């Protein structure tokens, strides 16, 4: 009897295994075929009155195949745009208009209109932290004007306008500004977010040819908490990127120390750091920046021929860095009241006990933080390469 029972148990066990195996071999129970999915390439969110406008760029698979996203004369994408009481509800309106299930897992970029950015981006960030499908590595930017216009530009060098947005942001700073990095800044003590500022731009003047609608980064959007409070442009953007230690390729121009014209220098290698010194409520940030660069254009009649001339140029560049940073700090501390360079976070990292004491009053202390600036500029280009081309020797001014 014992042998018979053992045999029956073995038969039951084998039968159970045979019956269960197909369950694991049949694939994902909730999978969707690719021809049932609409892939979102990029999202733009604007505020219109009391409602949110969500616009998405959706891939058209049958048109993908050409080198610029065109096949058979059609674009490789189209745009859907809907209004809703919330960001989520406006996205649901887009889904109702689509025969396929919209999927955000391949989104390249998230673009925010400046009107919405000034009201606050927390409602948008809330959606992206609750929906697992959203890619936190997607690039993020603010636009001058409505964000949905970015989705409908030509961007001829890339397959999709949102891909161009992604590449522009990737090349803007060392560490690309993504949804994740903005969330980290919003959730961290002592630092306010900054975002690239995008603008639609004509590829050529109309008198040169038929312009195409292209994109470019024109500055930085400065936030206080989740609200955009202003922008920085021109040389102020360059010094911000250098001070944030995010420099990739920064070019700076200075007037010639003697004669007329300007010289342009490229800085690929730089290192910046802030070190806090605290006495009571008096906070001083000691800023040191080292920059190595080379001359890329001499549009002047000045030519340094010895170490003295090179030192003059280095001194002028150091003075420019100091002047520009003082100007930026004045705007950040006294006009925008935004800790965009993360002074509070630096104190938190270097002197956590002091930060515990100061953090509750940081908004009152921050405008009075002093900054001592030390620059170390080194130019590597020497010799004949510094001379302006095409000028007679008698017109060149030497140091």
User: In sequence order, what DSSP letters do the residues of 180-206 get, joined into one string?
Assistant: HHHHHHHHSTT---EEEEEEEEESS-T
Q: Using CA atoms, how far apart are residues 309 and 315, in angstroms rounded to an integer?
A: 10
Mean local confidence (pLDDT), 109-114: 96
Please say whether the beta carbons of 226 and 241 come within 8 A.
Answer: no
What residues contact residue 219 under an 8 Å CB cut-off, 6+ apart?
196, 197, 231, 232, 233, 234, 237
Q: Using CA atoms, how far apart are residues 324 and 152, in angstroms rounded to an integer?
A: 36
Q: Which residues pair with 139 in a beta bridge?
A: 109, 178
Question: What letter would DSSP give residue 103?
Answer: E
For 327, phi then psi, to 5°, come to -65, -45
* 250-264 pLDDT, tens digit each: 999 999 988 889 999
The model's confidence at residue 171, banded by pLDDT at 50, 70 and 90, is: very high
Domains in the chain (CATH in brackets) are 34-233 (no CATH), 234-399 (3.30.300.210)
Please say whether the beta carbons of 298 and 263 come within 8 A.
Answer: yes
More confident residue, 40 or 204: 40
Range scoring the smallest mean pLDDT among 148-152, 205-209, 241-245: 205-209
Q: Using CA atoms, how far apart are residues 101 and 84, in angstroms rounded to an integer?
A: 19
Range scoring the smallest mean pLDDT among 106-120, 203-217, 286-300, 344-358: 203-217
Q: Please identify which residue in the block is written with the tokens 């009201």.
A: 119
For 213, phi then psi, to 5°, come to -80, 110
Q: Please identify which residue in the block is written with the tokens 């206080």.
A: 224
Q: Is the pLDDT of residue 73 over 50?
A: no
The rounded mean pLDDT for the chain is 86
* 324-351 pLDDT, tens digit each: 999 999 999 999 999 999 999 999 999 9
For residue 134, the model assigns a pLDDT of 75
What residues contact residue 366 under an 8 Å CB cut-off, 6+ apart?
333, 337, 339, 343, 344
For residue 392, the model assigns a pLDDT of 53
More confident residue, 398 or 58: 58
What dihedral do alpha carbons 303, 307, 309, 315 form, nearest 10°? 140
Q: What is the number of alpha carbons within 13 Å of residue 130 lying toward its C-beta?
A: 8
For residue 202, the model assigns a pLDDT of 83
Range scoring the smallest mean pLDDT among 59-73, 76-90, 119-133, 162-176: 59-73
Q: Is the pLDDT of residue 34 over 80?
A: no
């Amino acid at each position: 009897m014992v042998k018979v029972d053992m045999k029956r148990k073995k038969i039951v066990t084998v039968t159970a295994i045979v019956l269960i195996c197909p369950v694991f071999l049949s694939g994902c129970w909730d999978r969707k075929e690719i021809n049932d999915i609409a892939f979102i390439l990029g999202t733009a969110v604007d505020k219109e009155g009391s409602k949110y406008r969500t616009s998405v760029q959706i891939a058209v698979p049958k048109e993908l195949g050409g080198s610029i996203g065109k096949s058979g004369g059609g674009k490789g994408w189209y745009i859907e745009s809907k209004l809703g009481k919330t960001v989520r509800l406006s996205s649901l309106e887009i889904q109702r208009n689509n025969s396929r299930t919209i999927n955000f897992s391949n989104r390249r970029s998230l673009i925010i209109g400046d009107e919405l950015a000034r009201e606050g981006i927390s409602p948008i960030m809330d959606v992206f932290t609750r929906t697992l499908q959203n890619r936190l590595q997607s690039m993020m930017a603010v636009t001058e004007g409505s964000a949905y216009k970015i989705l409908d530009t030509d961007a001829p060098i890339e397959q999709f306008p949102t891909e161009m947005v992604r590449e522009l942001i990737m090349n803007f700073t060392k560490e690309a500004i993504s949804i994740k990095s903005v969330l980290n800044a919003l959730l961290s003590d002592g630092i306010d977010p900054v975002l690239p500022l995008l603008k639609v731009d004509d590829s050529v003047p109309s008198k040169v040819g038929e312009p195409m609608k292209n994109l470019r980064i024109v500055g930085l959007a400065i936030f206080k908490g989740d609200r955009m409070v202003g922008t920085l442009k021109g040389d102020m953007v360059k010094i911000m990127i250098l001070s944030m230690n995010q420099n990739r390729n920064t070019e700076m121009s200075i007037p010639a120390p003697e004669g007329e014209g300007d010289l342009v220098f490229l800085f690929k290698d730089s290192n910046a750091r802030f070190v806090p010194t605290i006495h009571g409520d008096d906070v001083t940030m000691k800023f040191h920046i080292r920059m190595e660069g080379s001359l890329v254009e001499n549009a002047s009649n000045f030519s340094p021929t010895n170490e003295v001339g090179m030192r003059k140029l280095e001194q002028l560049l150091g003075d420019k860095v100091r002047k520009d940073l003082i100007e930026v700090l004045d705007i950040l501390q006294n006009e925008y009241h935004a800790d965009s360079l993360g002074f509070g976070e630096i104190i938190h990292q270097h002197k956590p006990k002091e930060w515990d004491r100061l953090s509750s009053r940081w908004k009152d202390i921050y405008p009075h933080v002093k900054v001592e600036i030390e620059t170390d500029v080194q130019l590597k280009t020497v010799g004949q390469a510094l001379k302006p081309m095409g000028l007679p020797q008698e017109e060149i001014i030497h140091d």
